[in-house]
Structure 1
Amino acid sequence: MLILYFFIGLLASIIGALPLGASNIAVINTTLKQNASQAFKIAIAAGIAEVILSYYALHFNMAVKDFFNANQWLQISIAILLLGIGSFLFFKSNNRKSKSATKSNKLLKSKYATGFLLGLLNPPVLVYWLVVYGFINTNNIMLSLQSSLLVLFLFFVGVYAGKILTLYI
């Protein structure tokens, strides 16, 4: 039964990492422009960030769920805001080149830093893990911070392995 938590973490992480995100694109781009070992550095650090985000979502799962259920206006506001931002970005022209891009490139020379920052600064991943924990806890598989240390360890090892496996493939 304990190994089930590893496979749940593995499967949830693979499903969450399949859609193209910033870390996926960085791994693909690095593989094409440099080599697979440099891309693997990004994947390692992105896996650590994925575990941090999934832990954070586990910690605040019930509080966020109760808050969103009590405030439907917030759900509607977020949907409208995301739709507006998406529309703006869709119709925005990319003619201007930023001068600050060269400065930020110097900060992100390390592939580990790139992978970690791209993995950690990814709000959709946090929302995904909130949904995953809601789904897990409604299907007779309880996972919380009060779970045994072995259960949490196996689950987070599965999350890490799933993220690295998906990015490496």
Structure 2
Amino acid sequence: MIVLFLIAGFLASIIGALPLGASNIAVINTTIKHGKSNALKIIITAGVAEVILSYYALSYNMTVMDFFESNQWIQVLVALTLLLIGGMLFFKKTKTSKAKHKTQPSAKSNYIKGFFLGLLNPPVLVYWLIVFGILNTNELMLSLKSPWLEVVLFFIGVYFGKFLTLYLFSTFSLVVKRKFSNVNSVINRFTGSLLFFVGIVQVVKLYLL
């Protein structure tokens, strides 16, 4: 029975990480431009950020939910930012360069990027609030007062669910890189389209649902 908390955290984290967000896009771009080893550093700290967000949602679920409901400008700002960045990437022109060597980002910068992109993500926080709401209406009741092993197993599942999903995104990026010669242009248009789509979805959820 106790293993179900590990499985629940793992599956919930995978479902939450599948829609393309800032961490996913950073992993895709970094894998294509700088290799899988650099993307792995982003993945490691993005997993840590996911655990922190889910822990915060578990600790202050009602307070956080009330905050987002009374401050919808945050969600509007996120949606507009996604639309703006998506449009800029889609129409960005790829410059050709004769230089053969690309500047590799430092390991520290990738760790920091993964952590902050994973942490500064209000929709993910809302997602975890919903997850805990669903769990607590079923048999898998979870709170900070639950047995410590149940809580620890759940958050271990959260970490590895996020890690695995982002790792699969990185692997998929390498497949894309092999198939397209002008990969930078392709990834900019692909990323821009997805960001724009996510932004539109956020607007629809705010004003039509």
Contact conserved, 2:44 with 2:114, CA < 8 A, in 1?
yes
**3-state DSSP of counterpart to 2:136:** helix
Residues 99-114 of structure 1: pairs in structure 2 closer than 5 A: 110-114=109-113
- Partners of 1:88 and 1:157 in 2: CA distance: 32
User: Corresponding residue for 1:36?
Assistant: 36
C-alpha displacement at 1:110, in angstroms? 1.5
**Count of residue correspondences:** 152
Q: Distance in 2 between matches of 1:88 and 1:162?
A: 27
Equivalent in the alignment of 1:19: 19
Instruction: Please tell me whether the aligned partners of residues 49 and 119 of structure 1 are also in contact (alpha carbons under 8 angstroms).
Output: yes
Q: Structure 1 vs Structure 2: percent identity of aligned residues?
A: 58
User: CA offsets per residue over residues 116-167 of structure 1, 9 Å max, x none?
Assistant: 0101111111111111111110112100000111101100000000000000
Q: What's the offset of the Cα at 1:37?
A: 1.0
Distance 2:20 2:138 in 1: 28
Amino acid at match of 1:144: S
CA distance in 2, matches of 1:142, 1:132: 11
Matches of 2:63 and 2:75, distance apart in 1: 22
Post-superposition offset of 1:109: 6.0
Q: Which residue of 2 aligns with 1:148?
A: 147
Partner of 1:4: 4
Instruction: State the 1:61 CA deviation.
Output: 1.3
Amino acid across the alignment from 1:147: S
Check whether the contact 2:45–2:114 (CA below 8 A) recurs between aligned residues: yes
1:115-130 maps to which residues of 2 (within 5 A)?
A: 115-130=114-129
Q: Quote the residue 2:53 is aligned against.
A: 53
Equivalent residue letter for 1:129:
W
Shift in Å, 1:89:
6.5
55 and 28 in structure 1: CA distance in 2 versus 1, 3 angstrom threshold: same
Write the distance in 2 (CA, Å) between the matches of 1:26 and 1:87.
19
For the residue of structure 1 that corresponds to 2:19, the secondary structure is coil
Q: Secondary structure at the match of 2:134?
A: helix
Q: State how far apart, in whole Å, the 1-side matches of 2:116 and 2:78 are.
A: 22
* Match of residue 102 from structure 1: none
Q: 1:119 to 1:64 in 2, by over 3 A?
A: closer
Tell me the distance in 1 between the aligned counterparts of 2:111 and 2:4.
30
**Alignment check: 8 A CA contact 1:108 1:114 kept:** no
Q: What's the counterpart of residue 137 of structure 2?
A: 138
Partner amino acid, structure 1, of 2:52: I
Show structure 2 runs of 5+ residues with no match. 92-104, 169-209
> Could you tell me the TM-score, scaled by structure 2's length?
0.64
C-alpha root-mean-square deviation of aligned residues, in Å?
2.8
Deviation for aligned residue 1:62: 3.6
Higher RCO (CA < 8 A, seq sep 6+): 1
* Contiguous gaps of at least 5 residues in structure 1: 69-73, 96-105
